[in-house]
């Protein structure tokens, strides 16, 4: 679980970096008309918002997956809580979890696949 946590941390950090990068792009073009600058700024803000929503969605889903996996990891480590945060023997085996997401019919369709 620790190795997966590290990988997910890196993914989330990248999303944060990319969000910040898009925000910094908005004012970069000074040699364009005000109308084009406004469009470029709007596009950069949309992309930054997309990265933020992806990061928040993955953060939530990862927390749910970690919590769902905790009993499995505890059982695999003979119930010793101290082992749950360490590498578990057999951890290279795949453990499949089915986590159903609630669907909000009133929510707007997202711009990215979840």
State residue 31 phi and psi, 5-degree precision.
-95, 30
Is the pLDDT reported for residue 83 higher than 50? no
pLDDT in tens, 7-51: 888 989 999 999 999 999 988 888 999 999 999 999 999 999 999
Q: How many CB atoms lie within 10 A of CB 88?
A: 20
pTM of the model: 0.58
Helix, strand, coil distribution of the chain in percent, nearest 5: 60, 0, 40
82 falls in which pLDDT band (50, 70, 90)? Answer: very low
Residue where the block lists tokens 């889903």: 61
Average of per-residue pLDDT values in the chain:
76
């Amino acid at each position: 679980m620790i190795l997966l946590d590290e990988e997910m941390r890196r993914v989330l950090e990248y999303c944060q970096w990319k969000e910040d990068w898009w925000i910094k792009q908005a004012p970069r073009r000074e040699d364009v008309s005000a109308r084009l600058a406004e469009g470029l700024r709007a596009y950069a803000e949309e992309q930054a918002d997309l990265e933020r929503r992806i990061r928040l969605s993955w953060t939530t889903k990862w927390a749910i997956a970690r919590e769902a996996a905790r009993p499995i990891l505890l059982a695999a480590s003979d119930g010793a809580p101290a082992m749950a945060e360490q590498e578990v023997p057999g951890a290279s085996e795949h453990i499949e979890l089915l986590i159903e997401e609630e669907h909000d019919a009133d929510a707007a369709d997202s711009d990215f696949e979840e």
